[in-house]
Amino acid sequence: ADRKKLHTAPVGQVFRLRPFHVLVATGGGYAGYRKYEDYKLEQLEKRGIEVPVKLASEWEVALYKSVPTRLLSRAWGRLNQVELPTWLRKPVYSLYIWTFGVNMKEAAVEDLHHYRNLSEFFRRKLKPQARPVCCLHSVISPSDGKILNFGQVKNCEVEQVKGVTYSLESFLGPRISTEELHFSQAPPGNSFQQQLVTKEGNELYHCVIYLAPGDYHCFHSPTDWRVSHRRHFPGSLMSVNPGVARWIKELFCHNERVVLTGDWKHGFFSLTAVGATNVGSIRIYFDQDLHTNSPRYSKGSYNDFSFISNNNKEGIPMRKGEHLGEFNLGSTIVLIFEAPKDFKFHLKAGQKIRFGEALGSL
């Protein structure tokens, strides 16, 4: 008589699946499968076996985009801000150091207890002597990382990795007004690439640097130049590791990115910070109005901001090696710039490079 009644819900209600849950489960599972495929490709490359290019289909890209990477990146960012107890800091950071091969001997502060949260640890500063800036070459590496590709821009297409390209105009967006960048007006019939080249006899060059999670996360000015304009593209936050870059055409055009454009002594110069999974936060030190990975955005939209004003006709002057910005975790830097035809890169595709080392010179 004292038994309690047990009320059970219908089976259909207990196991009811919602579209969002299906997308997360399917997309997450497929992303995991792609990670495994990337790992196999990396092993083949280490053995010197050339891997044929196999691009993702539209449905595969759409499925990958269904994973809520923007939401996960914002959650990761908030988690990074949580202050860790002093006793927990060393085990957590030591695990990260072991996993990604971080060299803490280069850090300005080697004591792991100094970093209150993961965000401070990711953005750790280096000792002044850890990254000497090369003065002999005109363009240096703005960050630590791996060289994915470099060379001349041809037919308005840029290689993100060997054999996989993206549109120059889609990546940079519509050309900025010539008055703002101090450029002469190009003939209207010219291609987008030709419009960026301001001096006769010059060519357009590019360089792609991938920052792994264990790399130094700040980036610096690669040369002496003036930043005139910032264009922010909200977008997806898919992984930008070399395996995914080899798989998804125009990956950098899909992802959120901040394009800084201006000029140097040879003409047009641009530096683009590309966001990635868990890298919703891209910070430019002199741009306090920039806010990346906002909850709402319009697909295909972009926001422009000019550093040229009535009180400042020159924009933001940057010296070679000067601090420019930072990522919350590893990501990608893309340089696109104009230079004379005798400009030479001092690089090999796939090589590791550190901030301050030479990229190329005349």
Strand 358-361 versus strand 267-274 pairing type: unpaired
CA 61 to chain centre: 19
Taking only Cα atoms into account, the Rg of the chain, rounded to an integer number of angstroms, comes to 23
Alpha carbon distance 124, 106 (integer Å): 10
Quote the tokens at residue 263. Answer: 């000029």
Contact 360, 141 (CB under 8 A): no
Alpha carbon distance 67, 49 (integer Å): 32
Tell me the CA distances in angstroms from 204 to 7, 80, 81, 182, 343, one per residue in order.
71, 39, 41, 18, 10
Is 266 noted as a catalytic residue in this protein? no
| Catalytic residue chosen out of the listed positions 141, 143, 281, 331 | 331
For residue 149, list its beta bridge partners: 208
Quote the tokens at residue 98. Answer: 């072991």
Q: Which of 264, 262, 279 is nearest to 326 (CA)?
A: 279
Is 220 noted as a catalytic residue in this protein? yes
Is 144 noted as a catalytic residue in this protein? yes
| Catalytic residue chosen out of the listed positions 144, 215, 263, 287 | 144
DSSP state of 35: H
Beta strands in 247-343 (DSSP E): 257-264, 267-274, 282-284, 303-306, 316-318, 323-327, 332-340
| Catalytic residue chosen out of the listed positions 73, 206, 217, 220 | 220
What HEC string does 45-82 produce?
A: HHCCCCCCCCCCCHHHHHHHHCCCHHHHHHHHHHHHCC
Tell me the CA distances in angstroms from 125 to 34, 99, 106, 140, one per residue in order.
33, 20, 9, 19
- Active-site residues, by number, are 144, 220, 331
